[in-house]
Chain A
Amino acid sequence: MKKKVILDVDTGSDDAIAIMTALLSPDIEVVAICTVWGNTALENTTENTLRLLSRMGLEIPVYAGVPTALAKYLSPERDVPAFIEAEVDGEVVKMHDDLFDLPEPDYTKEDLPAPFFYIDYLSETEEPVDIVAVGPLTNLGFALSLKPEIAAKINSLTIMGGGYNVANVTGSAEANFWHDPEAVQIILDSGVHPTIVPLDATHKAIITKEEISKLRVSDNFCSNFAAGLMEQRVLVHSEVQPLYLPDSATVHDALAVAALVDREVLQDVKDLNLNVCFTGVAEGRCVIDRREAPAESNCSFAFSADRERFVGFLIDTFKNFNER
């Protein structure tokens, strides 16, 4: 039976690849997509999601969520801009363009805001639902604050975010966690026991330029669009965030979707106690309890990933798109 899945995204280049991965996977039925601010403003992440789904010939309901962090930007000292871009041949290349170069969408978002959708859907559903969240965690933090009892209705929650030995947006933090650290803490406190797919895993499961050209062999809209986004990411990585293989890119969010279908793409997964720091130089940092007798486990944390398995999964999955 297909897994019923809700995606929570800030589309976003790697979010788009994650969405397509989920929609093309024969093991997943995407019941809704919630959007959140993050890589770009909420209007853009929502519009990008609608454009992508429309272009794929789908009309999956899209619920727009919370436009900013629960609390972080209320403190001027915490309100520091952070994004990743590079100058290549005199032109600025961003990790995430504000708007995708795709046609206008065929349909509009739902009226109901994402946190209320979560509350209504999870309160009513009698089937297990899996959630994959790959942006700032504000929507789920909001919903779990209002109705803590919905935690029991979440079959699994897979989160792309955080980093232990790898950071990106500051010396200590990964972007999704850094954008809304309190929201992550609310989830960790809720008893949902998420699987965390951090930078430690995603910076292992990178894709090279050669492999991207293998993806292009499928030559359908999805494989070509994904390949284009990945190539743009290769440019930015090579310039400002070089990885352990030359001419390669991370595809963070897609690894979280892959992990739901094939848990073996993650490696060195440990149950542990995690807290997120809210202040100072360690803002957004994953604080793992490293004592001999740590506090009770509140998540599973993937310290590595199987790169070849993941890349193979992506190339196979993107063969599945058929124009309607």
Chain B
Amino acid sequence: MEKMKTRKVILDVDTGSDDAIAIMCAIKAESIQLEAICTVWGNLTVDKTTLNTLGLCEAMGVEIPVYAGCNRPMVKDRSKYRDLEDSYEPLIIDGKELKIHYDRLEGIPEPSRKEEDRHAVRFYYDYLIEATEPVTIIATGPLTNLGFLFRLAPQLAEKVEQLIIMGGGVHITNCSPAGEANIWHDPEALQIILDTGIHPLLVPLDATHAAALNLDDCARLESLDTFAARFTAKLARQRIEYESARFGEYHSFSAIHDALAVCASIDESVLEDVQELACRVGLSGSADGDILIDRREVPEEVNVSIALSANKEKFVAMLCELFAN
């Protein structure tokens, strides 16, 4: 893979099965100097995503500071009349409930250290005020932490070299007819981010589904016989089991959404069909959480780069290379 110069990175995660794989990618990538991991609610409550993150760091033998963040959306759940429940019934197979994110990541140690005292939003604020070098933020959960940060201090967007977001879907959704989970959970947070002019790189479902892993890919990872590769394969198999039970036997693959966002920071050519677009976020009604691309002949000024596809072979090769040792 093409070597890039080392970049400082902060991850913002709701760990979470695919977040776990994303974190391992960031830890293993030579081109990434992982400064901190901020956690947020989303796939699970923030105490669980924080515990999972700490446990995973321990399993990987690293002591990256972990800052716990917000545990609910900025404002969305203050209104009873918004779209608050995701559309899926629990999935019970042979008396066991299948989940895409179990409360605790299995097969990692109980963490021996705790999260930092400072709240994630405060950490971002202090870090960026003091930063003299460029920093990349990769956010793969609901964007609440960054929404609060930039609501308070929009000028700090200038200190962020690149913001990569796993979230949204242009032609594909999951949580609701219009929404992908990360954006749908806290649509206002993304709109605040867009309004800063930070021009994020969005890695939506359109890209992550194009790079979904199948059972052959799991076997290939397993053959590497490292913790990270085996753990990735295990999580991917769990996700495939869930998705084929949910959507039908033909669906024997699963998108490892969050890991693609981290891989894009290592080598952006893993993304394909990246377009410069003008985008708003639906904040109410049936378009709550929708990524609204300005589709007029003369759209508003572009404010986001969106990857509409991805190179699956390259993605799998990157995972194998990152997790080989």
Contacts and interface: CB of A to CB of B under 8 A. Distances in A.
Interface of A: 65-68, 70-71, 74-75, 113, 115-116, 119, 142, 145-147, 182, 185-186, 189, 278-279
Contacts of B127: none
Given A113-B152, A186-B75, 10 more contacts: A66-B152, A74-B192, A75-B283, A115-B152, A119-B119, A119-B122, A145-B72, A146-B122, A182-B78, A279-B81
B151 A68 contact: yes
A135 to B, nearest CB: 16
Contact of A145 (B70, B281, B283): B70
Given A70-B151, A74-B283, A278-B79, A145 B125 contact: no
Q: Which of B70, B78, B122, B153 has the most CB of A within 10 A?
A: B78
B148 A74 contact: no
Contacts of B125: 113, 116
Contacts of A182: 74-75, 78
B217 interface: no
A115 B284 CA distance: 27
Interface in B48-89: 70, 72, 74-75, 78-79, 81
A142 B148 CA distance: 8
Contacts of A74: 188, 191-192, 195, 281, 283
B121 interface: yes
25 contacts: A65-B152, A66-B151, A66-B152, A67-B152, A67-B154, A68-B151, A70-B74, A71-B75, A71-B188, A74-B195, A75-B283, A113-B125, A115-B152, A119-B122, A142-B148, A145-B70, A145-B74, A145-B148, A146-B70, A185-B75, A185-B78, A189-B78, A278-B75, A279-B79, A279-B81
User: Top 7 closest A-B pairs, CB basis?
Assistant: A182-B75, A74-B191, A71-B75, A71-B188, A185-B78, A75-B283, A146-B119
Interface string B105-134: 000000000000001011001000000000
B148 A147 contact: no
A142 B153 CA distance: 13
A116 B122 contact: yes
Nearest to A76: B280
A59 B142 CA distance: 41
Interface of B: 70, 72, 74-75, 78-79, 81, 119, 121-122, 125, 148, 151-154, 188, 191-192, 195, 281, 283-284
Nearest to A279: B284
Contact of B121 (A65, A67, A146): A146
Contacts of A75: 283-284
B285 to A, nearest CB: 10
Nearest to B77: A189
Contacts of B151: 66, 68, 70, 142
A294 to B, nearest CB: 16
A142 B188 contact: no
Contacts of B153: 113
Nearest to B122: A116
Nearest to A115: B152
Interface centre among A66, A74, A116, A146 (most CB of B within 10 A): A74
A35 to B, nearest CB: 13
A147 B283 contact: no
Nearest to B129: A111
A186 B73 CA distance: 11
Contacts of A186: 75, 78
Nearest to B78: A185
A279 B122 CA distance: 30
Contacts of A116: 122, 125
B125 to A, nearest CB: 7
